[in-house]
Amino acid sequence: MLNTVKEIGLGAWSLVEGMGVTLKFMFKRPVTLQYPLQPSQPSNVHKGRIRFVVFPETQNHDCIACLKCKNICPSKCFLELAGEKPPEGGRKRPTEFVYNFSTCSLCSLCIEVCPTKTLEHSPEFNLADDKKDTFIYDFLKDVEQRKVPVDVVANN
């Protein structure tokens, strides 16, 4: 009998403590966003998918298709990576560069090992989809889409 009264007392006390916490935070500003009605902004340390850096001076990437990123990747997310030297001479350039974001662990090893510093994390956020093909990215097509027109660069 004494044990039952003790348990009821402890239960009542835990209820009072819980209500105290509720009352303490009840009138404070909520920290929860009503997603997707209120989209959140990524933090400054957010890591999006891997992509080429488009250098403003050249309006292009500086990849030399050395394959270091593909060789170091623990997730094997670089699907197609090939390159060749241009017929007119110069450095080797990629002819194919395809990446599967769905298998990437965002470890950043490929970025660290890149000798030309031409890989970066994208600022893209909320890359959710139900189709696997959506996460296959062609770096070369991406660079073409992100290039700034020459007249815009000249006006700045």
One-letter amino acid of 86: P
In sequence order, what are the residues at sequence separation of 6 or more whose Cβ sits closer than 8 angstroms to the Cβ of residue 86?
93
Is the predicted pLDDT of residue 27 greater than 50, yes or no? Answer: yes
Residue 75: what residue type?
S
- Residue 5 inside a domain? The answer is yes
Q: What's the CA gap between 42 and 26, in Å, rounded?
A: 27
* Residue 144 confidence (pLDDT) above 80: yes
The CATH number of the domain holding residue 75 is 3.30.70.3270
Domain membership of residue 37 (yes or no) is no
**Which residues does 72 contact at the CB level (< 8 Å), separation at least 6?**
109, 110, 113
Does residue 41 lie in a domain region? no
Query: How is residue 72 written in tokens?
Result: 């170091």
Domain containing 3 equals 1-31
Residue 148 is predicted with a pLDDT of 65
The full length of the chain comes to 156
| pLDDT at residue 153 in the model | 46
Task: State the pTM of this model.
Answer: 0.68
Query: For residue range 30-85, what is the model confidence (pLDDT) as tens digits?
Result: 778 887 788 777 788 888 899 999 998 888 899 999 999 999 999 999 999 999 99
Q: 3-class DSSP state for residue 151?
A: helix
Domain shared by 71 and 127, yes or no:
yes
